[in-house]
Homo-oligomer: A and B are copies of this chain.
Amino acid sequence: MASAARRRTMPAGEIRPSLVEQAYAAFKEAIVRSEFPPGIQLSAQELALRFGTSRTPIHEASLRLQEEGLVRILPKRGILVCALSPEDIREIYDVIIAIEGDAAARIARLPEPERLAIAERLDAETARMEVAADFEARSLADMAFHTLLVEACGNSRFASILKTVNSQAARAQVFMVQLRPNIERSVPEHRAIIAAICAGDPETALAAARAHRARVRDEIVPLLARFGLRHF
């Protein structure tokens, strides 16, 4: 009865993710974990076999991944897993710098109660980062900080842009964890962003967020290039 009424108005239960969704997630996961070496050429048939569907969901998932820049569909030839050069990583970081910087400035422009609430949550993540036992936990808290920063800025398009470029960079992120960059430098930089937000100073927040990401970029990109990695 109630269940019938609920079924009736069920807007989009999406109980069971579609096969396209599953194929998309599985394919993306495999790419990020570098189970498919970058530059490899695959066919829909073999992916369909691997993921246990027919070729159609694979094809549609590939279209989505192509839109996100993770693969390229070569007409009549196959699916190419894109390779990222250090220059690509640099481009991606520059997008992050532009968007995330603006997001920080936007938060600093919010009415005081709102921006203080956000600042508190940002501070909590930063604290988690500081006391984290291992590198893994520290990275997670770091990611949570940056996700929150852009989710809270009030422009959903900012979030979706960052989601896209982050997924492009994900493969490199996995690799970078092994390089163990000095993430502890991030803590005071995060605090500087938080302080500017609390003070309601958009200019300083913008500059602090940009400087933070630019510092990371300038640390990471030469490192990748020096390791002679032409692509990931």
Contacts and interface: CB of A to CB of B under 8 A. Distances in A.
Please state the number of chain copies in the assembly: 2
Given A97-B102, A98-B99, A102-B98, A91 B155 contact: yes
Interface string A137-177: 00000000000000000011110010001000000000000
Contacts of A99: 95, 98-99
Given A94-B102, A157-B165, 15 more contacts: A12-B75, A60-B60, A60-B63, A64-B67, A91-B155, A91-B156, A91-B157, A92-B157, A94-B155, A94-B157, A94-B158, A95-B99, A98-B98, A98-B101, A161-B161
A18 interface: yes
A25 to B, nearest CB: 16
Nearest to A88: B157
Interface in A95-114: 95, 97-99, 101-102, 106
A5 interface: no
Given A63-B60, A67-B67, A74 B12 contact: yes
